[in-house]
Amino acid sequence: MASQKQNTGRFFIYTIETVSIMLSLFFTPVSVLAQKHAEQSVPNFSTFVENIQDGKANVLEGVYVPDVFAFPVIQQPVGNPAFVSQAADTVTQFGMAAEVGNVGLLAHNNLAGQEFTNLSLEDEVRLVYGDGKVEYFIVTQKLQYQALQPYSPYSEFRDLETSQTITAEELFRKVYRGDRHVTFQVCIAANGIDAWGRLFIIAQPKPDSFIEKQYFRLGEVHRFIQ
C-alpha cells in the first residue's frame, strides 16, 4: 500500500514537472504588450553596474552585452514558470533553469526580446548580481525551432537547421540542462503568428585567464570581480 502511494506521489510530481516544462516554452505576447520596444543606447558598463546594485548576493539583477543591450533582470514568481515580464526593457530569469544550476533569460519578442535577435556568436555576456559580482560568458550557439502547434503546450518542435522533431521536454533538456551556461529564450514571429517558433541563444562560461587579461587592460571591470 505504501509503495503504491509512493508511486502515485512520484507520478504526480513528474506530471507537474512535465506540464511546467511545457508551459515554460509557451509564453506569448498579449494585447497589453502591444507597445513598441524603444531603442536605447547601451550605457557604460560601470554605470550600469552601479545603477542596478542593491547589495543582494547571488541575486541576478542585470544582463549586459557590450554594444548590444543592457537590461535589468527580475525573477519569476514561485510556481509560475510561464511568467515573463510585461515591462519594456526588462528580462525575466527562468526559475526552472536556476533549479538545475543554469541561467535562463526570457523576454517577449515585442519588448526586450527583440534585442536577443541581435546577439551574435562570440558576443560576450555579462551577468551582474546585486552585490556587484559579475559572471562572463561567450555566445556559442543560436538554435531555432518551429512549434508545430504554436499555441499548444503539448506541441512538438522542429529544428529549423536539421528538420529533426523533438518534444517540449526534450527541448527543455537540450537548452536548459547540462553544465553551467546561459540560455536566452524568445518567441519567433512568422506567418502572422507571434509564437510560431522559439529562438534559443546559448552562452558558455568565458575562461578566467582571458577575462583577467582583457579587463585589466580596459581598466574597467576588475573593480567588480574582486
Q: What is the pLDDT of residues 124-166, one digit of tens each?
A: 999 999 999 999 999 999 999 999 998 887 899 999 999 999 9
pTM of the entire predicted model: 0.81
On the question of pLDDT at 85 being above 90, the answer is yes
What pLDDT score does 188 carry?
A: 93
61-70, 74-83, 125-134: the lowest-pLDDT one:
74-83
- 2-224, what's its fold? Sortase; Chain: A; (2.40.260)
Full 3-state SS string of the chain: CHHHHHHHHHHHHHHHHHHHHHHHCCCCCCHHHCCCCCCCCCCCHHHHHHHHCCCCCCCEEEEEECCCEEEEEEECCCCCCCCCCCCCCCEEEEHHHHHCCCEEEECCCCCCHHHHCCCCCCCEEEEEECCCCEEEEEEEEEEEEEECCCCCCCCCEEECCCCCEECHHHHHHHHHCCCCCEEEEEEEEECCEEEEEEEEEEEEECCHHHHHHHHHHHCCHHHHCC
What pLDDT score does 153 carry?
A: 76
Confidence of residue 29 (pLDDT cuts 50, 70, 90): very low
Confidence of residue 59 (pLDDT cuts 50, 70, 90): very high
Domain ranges of the chain: 2-224
On the question of pLDDT at 36 being above 80, the answer is no
Q: Using CA atoms, how far apart are residues 126 and 136, in angstroms rounded to an integer?
A: 5
What pLDDT score does 78 carry?
A: 87
Q: What is the mean pLDDT of the chain?
A: 82
Q: Higher-confidence residue: 37 or 226?
A: 37
